[in-house]
Structure 1
Amino acid sequence: MGQQEEQPPAFWRFRSSNGFIVFSVCFAIFVDVLLYGCIVPYVAPARFQLDSSSAGARSGVAEEDVQRWLAILLAVYGLGFSLGSPAFGWLADRYRNRWWPLMSGLVLLLCGTLMLWFSSMVQLLCVARFIQGLATACIWSVGLALVIDTVGSSNAGESLGLVAMSMSIGFVGAPSVSGFIYDRFGYDMVFICMVVMVIFDIVLRILIIEKKDAVKWVLKETDPNDPRRPLLPPVNDGPNFDLQPHAHPIITLCKSPRLVTAVFISFVEAIIMTSFETVLPLHTKETFGYTSTLAGLSFAVVVFGDFFSTYAGRLSDRIGATPCVVTGCITMAITLFLCRYTDSPSTESQVLLWVLLLAVGLSHCLVFVPAYSEMSLVVEEIEKEKPGVFGPYGAFAQSYGLGNLAYAAGTTVGPLWSGFMRHSLGWGWLTFALAVFSLLAAIPSYMFLGGPRITKQEDEEGDSIEGY
């Protein structure tokens, strides 16, 4: 039996490689974002219309109440996301392996999707959206922690840039994918495609072998005299350091100005991006007479900037988060301020708006990815100062849980605040307020965020373990 346990699984090197694990997490977040972007704005209205026009009127939603219930579905999703982020982060850090927490999130996502597909009562639709919010919290918190476990905090920027890019692809692709499938093949086919993607996501998670589990086979196949051997991550099946009683990890994390700053940046970025998502379509329709398609493309230009997130992450890995985030915040503030001058129907105003929207997207990726990388570096910094303060398995998932909680709060505040600002004071004052908000975020970023990430020795260490 012992001899059988020593046999490594098939294709273990590929299944434990950096590329496969990061791809699996990126695909999980892409599917989650795609579901979010497809179902509520495009598929849920169809459900209400089909039900309300049918003989049974199963949903009980009148046509004039559709918009209100769509807003409720979004709010319920945000509630699940907010409550689940710190909870799943804490749960994931209680276990040595990320397998069960992340698998739980994917199963929740599948259950929520199936409920949305087959439920006819609007109350059950709300429950399904809450479950999907919990699933998002789990997938993001645990998935990002798994990426850090795999590539290490010192090289996290580029990998988190890939995660941000997968989010952008999901946001951009959701309208076209859901619209095309619904128009060509009908309501049920949209959900069939989504369920198939979630199932494939689950299969990828089953295939993953985490680095900490693959180390024993690497050590077995590595020459003891190999100079790279000491650089391999140690096998740690349990605590081997001081385990005196400490404050709850979240309390310890919140005492760090560096982490609080990164979490605040997550909140600010969520407000800015969701504010544009809320008011930009209406502004372009009223000012330039854009159709819904052109209005949607306007916001897609903002999201397009995230496709450069890997370069922002790579730059952050080399020079540190502070110059990246401060530069991004100041650039975004200037760009947002200039957006106030795109309030005339002229061609010049339209061209200026599209250029400025692209600059907003580029600035966003220069801020967002380094800030999220900081959340893992804070954990390592505190752990070095106080070994064992987070328990045997660290606090990466809890750190990202706090960041996701702030992001979820921003996605709730942003649409409400931006809608009120534009309605009461207009487009110009809204963009001015967002510019001030971004500029204020640069101050704590300069004061508290960390410095350079990697040294030459650390870079060689990352290269030495990347292949297994």
Structure 2
Amino acid sequence: MGQDYEQPPVFWRFRSSSGFIVFSVSFAIFVDVLLYGCIVQRWLAILLAVYGLGFSLGSPAFGWLADHYRNRWWPLMGGLVLLLCGTLMLWVGTAVQFLCLARFIQGLATACIWSVGLALVIDTVGSSNAGESLGLLAASMSIGFVGAPSLSGFLYDRLGYNSVFGCMVVMVLIDIALRIFIIEKKDAVKWVLQEAKAKSDDPRQPLLPPTGPPDAPNFDIQPHSHPIITLMRSPRLVTAVWVSFVEAIVMTSFETVLPLHTKETFGYTSTLAGLCFAAVVFGDFFSTYAGRLSDRVGARPCVIVGCIGGAATIFFCGFANGNTPASQALLWVMLLLVGLAHCLVFVPTYTEMSLVVEQIEREQPGVFGPYGAFAQSYGLGNLAYAAGTTVGPLMSGFMKQQVGWCWLTFTLAVLVLLTVIPVRLYLGEPKQVKPQPPSEEGVSTV
């Protein structure tokens, strides 16, 4: 009796490998950030708010959508198509309403790429090893932030306005091509099993392995609350979401106020002012090491050290308020340390958002349905980050004008330092209570 085998796609091992999938998601985030940095330079500031609105609304929505499909390929491809459409609309648009719609679509695309892309990485590498992979994503984001102004400025000066958008469209098309080649690991399992079956000489060897150990817990089929409600009941996840919100406030505050402060205080040109913020972002290039450390020791110690170190360095940034070489040197050194502290906080926090889903699943098997809630967990984190990108520029701009640079940095430092309290209480795996040995008191001897 012959056996039928499905012919696997070409290069299926490479296309389903962890390295290729992580690289593809990293490239998607790089292109998304690059588009944000290149295109926003030309348009009015109001478009930033529209972009943030799309990011905020899209994050939980796309997270829910991705967790209701077995395959994350289609939601991720949909996000890239939205990104392409938004870019083309910005390229050809002239009316303000049309441009606002384009930026809103780009915000939705960003929400999809981040929520679904991060969940795809967790599906591929697993939560226990997620820190290093998420560190690569953070590094790709930093490359996009640092490279966007330089690339857009070079293209605009040498080749004109259309060259900037033409380059961005090509990058998105490359991104879409990478997504077409991706094969998710859960789809590649059948070919792994098929090869194992073909190599086996035992005719009694089953084609599929047992679904689980005999004593595996049964899934709870009772109705549950919406997954997002279940997630938000976890103090551990709420803490991670709050940390994401605070980090967004800090980073966007520096992005907003730092160029103005350096121009007023040191007489910096736009290029030097931009390099100051690049010093902050430079710390993210060490995110892979922060992720590796988080995988080994857990998120709590990393985030506590990052918050305390970040609060101290932000506070000392406030003393860089005089036009002297020492003041400039102090600012540059402190900005580098702020970036390093940020990577110690950002990557472990996003790793926590997947670990908390696994914790809830262990405690309540089947509570999130057959496909889990990784994308929805990241959707909540991205929603908080998007809210922080809205609050940060408004708060920092107001405080810089009303009370000055010193009080702004002091306020940010206090906000970061206070975040240590919920991190210490709730972040990280809950301690398992060991059963106490029976007391020997009161035991009678015969």
Return the TM-score normalized by structure 1. Answer: 0.87
Q: After superposition, what is the alpha-carbon deviation per residue over 1:416-438, rounded to whole angstroms, capped at 9, x for unaligned?
A: 00011111111110000000000
Count residues with an aligned counterpart.
418
* Map 1:221-370 → 2, pairs under 5 A: 221-222=195-196, 241-370=219-348
Per-residue CA distance 1:270-313 (angstroms, 9 max, x = gap): 00000000110011111111111100000000000000000000
Seen in structure 2, the aligned counterparts of structure 1 residues 176 and 90 have a Cα distance that, compared at 3 Å, is same
AA partner of residue 387 (structure 1): P
Give the deviation of 1:121 after TM superposition.
1.1
Q: Which runs of 4+ in 1 moved over 3 A?
A: 2-5, 222-225, 232-236
Q: CA deviation at 1:235?
A: 7.9
Are 2:21 and 1:8 aligned? no
Change (3 A) 1:376 1:152: same
Q: Which residue of 2 aligns with 1:137?
A: 111
TM-score normalised according to structure 2 size: 0.91
C-alpha distance in structure 2 between counterparts of 1:154 and 1:18, whole Å: 14
Match of 1:426 in 2: 404
Offset of 1:260 from its aligned partner? 0.3
1:98 to 72, 86, 93: 72
Query: Quick check: 1:215 aligned with 2:193?
Result: no
1:446 counterpart letter in structure 2: R
Q: In the alignment, which residue of structure 2 is the partner of 1:35?
A: 35
| Contact 2:139–2:287, Cα closer than 8 Å, also in 1 | yes
Contact 1:215/1:233 (CA < 8 Å) preserved in 2? no
Within the candidate set 139, 152, 167, 1:165 is matched to 139
**In 2, distance between residues paired with 1:146 and 1:360?**
29
* Whole-angstrom CA distance in 2 between matches of 1:114 and 1:337: 43
- Output the aligned Cα RMSD: 2.0
Partner of 2:53: 79
Match of 1:195 in 2: 169
8 Å contact kept, 2:62–2:112: yes
Report the alpha carbon displacement of residue 405 of structure 1 after superposing the two structures with TM. Answer: 0.1
- Structure 2: distance between partners of 1:214 and 1:27: 22
Q: Could you tell me which residue of structure 1 aligns to residue 19 of structure 2? A: 19
* 1:234 positional shift: 8.4
How far did residue 451 of structure 1 move? Answer: 4.2
CA distance in 2, matches of 1:3, 1:264: 55
Q: What residue number does 1:449 align with? A: 427
| Structure (1/2) with the larger helix percentage | 1
One-letter amino acid matched to 2:345 = V
How many Å separate the matches in 2 of 1:189 and 1:352? 39
The unaligned stretches of length 5 or more in structure 1 are 45-69, 226-231, 454-468
Structure 2 CA distance, aligned partners of 1:361 and 1:150? 28
For 1:234 and 1:413, locate their aligned partners in 2 and report how far apart those are by CA, in whole Å.
51
Can you list the C-alpha shifts for 1:228-264, whole angstroms capped at 9, x where unaligned? xxxx99889xxx8333210000000000000000000
Distance across 1 between alignment mates of 2:138 and 2:211: 30
Q: Say if 1:3 and 1:129 are closer, same or farther in 2 by CA, change over 3 A.
A: farther
CA contact (8 A) 2:79 2:108 kept: yes
What CA distance in whole angstroms lies between the structure 2 residues aligned with 1:80 and 1:233?
Answer: 44
- Residue 436 of structure 2: aligned partner: none
| Distance (Å, rounded) in 2 between the aligned partners of 1:427 and 1:110 | 39
Q: Deviations over 1:48-94 (max 9, x none)?
A: xxxxxxxxxxxxxxxxxxxxxx1211100000000000000000000
Structure number with greater Rg is 2
CA displacement, residues 342-400 of structure 1 (integer Å, 9 cap, x when unaligned): 11111001001000000000000000000000000000000011111001100000000
Asked if the contact 2:5–2:194 (Cα under 8 Å) also holds between the matched residues in 1, the reply is no
What amino acid sits opposite 2:291 in the alignment? G
Query: 1:6, CA displacement in angstroms?
Result: 1.0
| Runs of at least 5 residues in structure 2 that lack an aligned partner in the other structure | 202-207, 213-217, 432-446
CA change 1:345–1:116 in 2 (3 A) is: same
The aligned residue for residue 62 of structure 1 is: none
State the percentage of identical aligned residues: 79
Aligned pairs for 1:39-78 within 5 A: 39-41=39-41, 43-44=42-43, 70-78=44-52
Q: Aligned with 1:341: secondary structure?
A: coil
Number of the residue aligned with 1:415 = 393
